[in-house]
A = this chain, B = another copy of it.
Amino acid sequence: MRDVAIIGIGQTEVGEHWETSLRHLALRALQGAMQDAGVTQVDAIYVGNMLSGELAGQEHVGALVADFAGLRGVEAFKVEAACGSGAAALRMGYMAVASGLVNLVAVVGVEKMTDALGPDTTSALALAADGEYEAAQGVTFVALNAMLMRRYMYEYGYSHQDFAPFAVNAHRNGVNNPYAMFRFPITPERFATAPMICDPINLLDSSPICDGAAAVVLAPAEAARALSTKPVRIAASAVGTDTLAIHDRRDPLVLDGAILSTRRAYEQAGVGPQDIDLFELHDAFSIMAVLSLEAAGFAERGRGLRLALEGEIGISGRIPVSTMGGLKARGHPVGATGVYQVVEVVQQLRGEAGANQVPDARLGMAQNIGGSGATVITHILERME
């Protein structure tokens, strides 16, 4: 097995791109990554995307993106794992390069959620849940997370306001990210009075519906030095799954898929949570950030929220999260998110995170979650000295 490195990154601004189609978004991110890598050709393109068929009227986006980028002929597929699609595509690219079958791979995450055809976006997002046991009963994705949040509050005695530090931290970091959708700070007071979406989840607990694309270029690590001045090694790539339906789980407040995924990643990289300098977690909702911190070993059960309350999730905290705004402030174009997370970890490891730079970041982790924890994909990235 060959070691694999990231030699280029690209991204579009996350937002409402009413004038830009799915293929144009993908193109911009892909061209950015290839330019950053200094390559004009790749051997394969794997596209992470969840809802192109339902919302943009287009399946078969692998070959579409390849052709639209002037790379007609190269291997190309779409990979889907709900909101985990982006990291799933990276996992596929990683395996392709690791196998020796292909050398240069582009991984593109793209989602176009505004300007939607067909069903409304909330119904489309519910396709990530169990269709027969959850979605068909009328439970939306926000509602599932709301039930988890309420249960967490009840079980461990927290108030809704205790979750404020996640939104405050994400928005603070989003201010300095030119690609973020929300570039304004918020106060705990604003959090307290935000409109309710699905009690107890309010507008500031929730990531936005938006459009965006991000991309990375992968190469064998041995060749990466010649191609890039700042290559980043993929020290681990691991996946864990769980039931789609929350009622089928051992315990609704324990993300077994995330526990499996991070344990496998730590083993592959030969590290533990204490070695991780920053953690791009999947804060689609505040409650998911909390459960992820616990599953990944940064806090005991019921104590994930405490880390935030104690100020340990900021840039200079014990475990910085959402360092470029996270899903909450950078935005969450679902199938693209996993690639955005990895792009941001690369920015940190390269020392290119500007005002949000985590000092001397050497090891960063990105964790992308599909559904309410049914697919969890973890990548640990390492600065190549």
Q: Measuring CB to CB, which residues of chain A are less than 8 angstroms from any residue of chain B?
A: 1, 21, 23, 44, 50-51, 53-54, 56-60, 62-64, 66-67, 72-82, 88, 91-92, 95-96, 98-101, 118-119, 124, 127-132, 135-136, 237, 239-244, 248, 256-257, 260, 370-371, 374-375
The number of times this chain is found in the oligomer is 2
Contact of A370 among B63, B74, B92 (CB under 8 A): B63
Q: How far is the CA of A67 from the CA of B241 in the complex (A)?
A: 8
Q: How far is the CA of A74 from the CA of B81 in the complex (A)?
A: 13
Q: How far is the CA of A23 from the CA of B60 in the complex (A)?
A: 22
Contact of A242 among B67, B240, B248, B260 (CB under 8 A): B67
- Is A78 touching B80 in the complex (CB atoms < 8 A)? yes
- Is A50 touching B57 in the complex (CB atoms < 8 A)? no
- Is A127 touching B53 in the complex (CB atoms < 8 A)? yes
- Is A127 touching B60 in the complex (CB atoms < 8 A)? yes
| Given A92-B77, A98-B101, residue A374 in contact with residue B242 (CB < 8 A) | no
| Given A77-B79, A80-B78, A375-B77, residue A57 in contact with residue B248 (CB < 8 A) | no
| Given A53-B51, A59-B50, A101-B95, residue A73 in contact with residue B136 (CB < 8 A) | no
Shortest Cβ distance from A159 into chain B, in angstroms? 32
Contact of A57 among B23, B44, B136, B260 (CB under 8 A): B136
Q: How far is the CA of A147 from the CA of B158 in the complex (A)?
A: 65
- On chain B, the residues within 8 Å of A374 by CB distance are 60, 63-64, 67
| Given A51-B53, A73-B240, A78-B80, residue A128 in contact with residue B95 (CB < 8 A) | no
Shortest Cβ distance from A118 into chain B, in angstroms? 7
- Is B95 touching A60 in the complex (CB atoms < 8 A)? no
Q: How far is the CA of A63 from the CA of B242 in the complex (A)?
A: 7
Residue from A1, A64, A243 having most chain B Cβ neighbours under 10 A: A64
6 contacts between A and B (CB under 8 A): A59-B80, A60-B80, A73-B241, A73-B257, A73-B260, A118-B119
Main secondary structure of the interface of A (DSSP, over half): mixed
- Is B80 touching A81 in the complex (CB atoms < 8 A)? no
- Is A73 touching B375 in the complex (CB atoms < 8 A)? no
Contact of A1 among B58, B88, B100 (CB under 8 A): B100
- Is A60 touching B256 in the complex (CB atoms < 8 A)? no
**Chain B residue at minimal CB-CB distance from A47:** B80
**Chain B residue at minimal CB-CB distance from A64:** B244
- Is B101 touching A60 in the complex (CB atoms < 8 A)? no
Contact of A118 among B50, B82, B118, B237 (CB under 8 A): B118
- On chain B, the residues within 8 Å of A62 by CB distance are 80-81, 88, 241, 375
| Given A73-B240, A77-B79, A239-B75, residue A54 in contact with residue B54 (CB < 8 A) | yes
Q: How far is the CA of A131 from the CA of B95 in the complex (A)?
A: 30
- On chain B, the residues within 8 Å of A256 by CB distance are 72-73
Q: How far is the CA of A130 from the CA of B23 in the complex (A)?
A: 11
Contact of A76 among B21, B56, B75, B241 (CB under 8 A): B241
- Is A58 touching B96 in the complex (CB atoms < 8 A)? no
**Chain B residue at minimal CB-CB distance from A268:** B101
Contact of A101 among B1, B59, B75 (CB under 8 A): B1
Shortest Cβ distance from A337 into chain B, in angstroms? 15
Q: A58-B131, A76-B81, A118-B119 are in contact. List 17 more A-B contacts (CB 8 A).
A: A1-B100, A21-B132, A53-B54, A57-B136, A59-B80, A60-B80, A60-B81, A60-B244, A63-B243, A63-B374, A67-B244, A67-B374, A73-B240, A73-B256, A77-B80, A77-B239, A80-B80
